[in-house]
Amino acid sequence: MKRRDFFGAAALMGAALSTGKFASAQTTEETDKRDIARLRLCSQLGGIPGGTLPEKLEKLKKWGGEAFEVGAEVTDDAKCKEYNKMKADFDLEVSAICWGSCGGQLVSTDPAVQAAGMDEFKRVLEGAGKVGARGVIHVPTFNGQSELSNQELLERCRDYLPKLGEFAVAHNTTIILEPLCRYETYFIKQVAYGASICRDCGGREAGITVMGDFYHMDSEETSDMGAFISAGDYLNHVHLAGGRAEPMRTLPGQNGMSFVDGFRGLKYIGYTGFCSFECGCEGDREVEMPKSMQFLRDQWDLA
Ligand code: MG
């Protein structure tokens, strides 16, 4: 290295230190948040046995659930009122709104189609705010809904997500990007990739967060623990389901998949968000769901 190059490198190093790139390095003790992590179980309404909403929520509460996950029906004011009454009656929270891609409209190259998708997303975000949900789950595109390349999709996300994120924050909620397995999307497949989009769009303060779904992660992640640690503070929700082994995508504990590695990651980042059932069931849900909840608590203790 020539003397002049050496001084150039030293100056760069100094600049990096003064901008905090290296100064922000913390000790393991500071980044390990296992003491504050909690397993907070939740379920989508469809997965809870019972004929009526109160029946379902009474069971969920009795089995130790802390929240329920709902759908796009929160655009209906009457539904929001009903959910708010249920929250109060059963001392439960609404965790998230399971929404989706709106047919891929948000990434459409047709401005009118994209604008319609933005309007619909805003209506759902408003509803999410009304029921106090932590966020609205969003998939930019499923397979077959877009012709764009990964890079083009990324550019579109960086354009529309900050605008909708600002709207979400104004309504006390967030957008939650859901990575899916390759069989369902060619775009955001890994939790860390979703987290990098959160970072690019301003993160949690800008209303953009990510989630992990154990079913999808079983196909895409080399380490569930690594995936959750990569997401860190951007992680805002988790879906619970067994992986691809038969019976596929069933209640945790029914197909032999271990949750210990993933739970270790959740513990390490001090996760206090919800873990929500989104899965099928072998047998009677009335019997199997509380069994699965106990299985998860045991896995958490092992992690
Ligand atoms: Mg899911």
Strand partners, 239: 213, 276
Residue 270 sits in which domain range? Answer: 31-302
**pLDDT-derived band at 32, boundaries 50, 70, 90:** confident
CATH number, position 113: 3.20.20.150
> From ligand 1's centre to the CA of 190, what distance in Å?
13
233 alpha carbon – ligand 1 mean position (Å)? 19
Band the pLDDT of 223: cuts 50, 70, 90. Answer: very high
Domain presence at residue 24? no
| pLDDT of 190 higher than 60 | yes
% of the chain at pLDDT higher than 70: 92
- For residue 21, the CA-to-ligand 1 centroid distance in Å is 34
Q: Is the pLDDT of residue 302 over 80?
A: yes
Number of independent structural domains in the chain: 1
- Give residue 193's pLDDT: 98
What pLDDT, on the 0 to 100 scale, is given for residue 27?
82
Q: Taking 70 as the threshold, does the pLDDT of residue 89 lie above it? A: yes
What sign results for the dihedral spanned by CA atoms 221, 180, 43, 206?
A: positive
Asked if residue 106 is part of any domain, the answer here is yes
Distance from the CA of 244 to the center of ligand 1, in angstroms?
14
pLDDT at 29: 80
* pLDDT reading at 228 higher than 50: yes
CA 247 – ligand 1 centroid, Å: 17
**What pLDDT shows up at residue 20?**
47
The whole-chain average pLDDT of the chain stands at: 93
Is the CB of residue 210 less than 8 Å from the CB of residue 191? Answer: yes
A 10 A CB-CB count for 167 gives: 18
Print the SS3 string covering the chain: CCHHHHHHHHHHHHHHHHCCCCCCCCCHHHHCCCCCCCCEEEEEHHHCCCCCHHHHHHHHHHCCCCEEEECHHHHCHHHHHHHHHHHHHHCCEEEEEEEECHHHHHHCCCHHHHHHHHHHHHHHHHHHHHCCCCEEEECCCCCCCCCCCHHHHHHHHHHHHHHHHHHHHHCCCCEEECCCCCCCCCCCCCHHHHHHHHHHCCCHHHCEEEEEEHHHHHHHCCCHHHHHHHHHHHEEEEEECCCCCCCCCECCCCCCCCCHHHHHHHHHCCCCCEEEECCECCCCHHHHHHHHHHHHHHHHHHC
Residue from 72, 116, 200, 239 nearest 192 by CA:
200
First to last CA, the chain: 48
CA–centroid distance, residue 213 to ligand 1 (Å): 5
Is residue 4 assigned to a domain?
A: no
Tell how far the Cα of 264 is from the centroid of ligand 1, in angstroms.
Answer: 20
Residue 168 falls inside a structural domain: yes
Q: 149 C-alpha vs ligand 1 centroid, how far in Å?
A: 23
Distance 170 CA to ligand 1 centre (A): 26
Q: How remote is the CA of residue 278 from the centroid of ligand 1, in Å?
A: 6
Q: How far apart are the CA of 44 and the centre of ligand 1, in A?
A: 10
- Bridge partners of 216, per DSSP, are none
pLDDT at 46 over 90: yes
Q: Is the pLDDT of residue 152 over 90?
A: yes
What is the CA angle 51-57-59, rounded to 5? 85
Residue 65 lies in a domain: yes
Distance from the alpha carbon of residue 178 to the mean position of ligand 1, in angstroms: 7
Distance from the alpha carbon of residue 71 to the mean position of ligand 1, in angstroms: 12
Is the link from the previous residue into 49 a cis peptide, with omega within 30 of 0? no
The whole-number average pLDDT for the span 72-97 is 98
Model confidence at 16, pLDDT cuts 50, 70, 90, reads very low
> According to the model, what pLDDT value does residue 236 have?
98
Chain segment 252-268, per-residue pLDDT in tens: 999 999 999 999 999 99
Ligand 1 center–CA 215 separation, angstroms: 7
Rounded to the nearest angstrom, the distance between the alpha carbon of 147 and the centre of ligand 1 is 23
Q: Is the pLDDT of residue 92 over 50?
A: yes
| Residue 17 placed within a domain | no
State yes or no: pLDDT of 22 exceeds 70.
no
- Residue 23: pLDDT band (50, 70, 90) is low
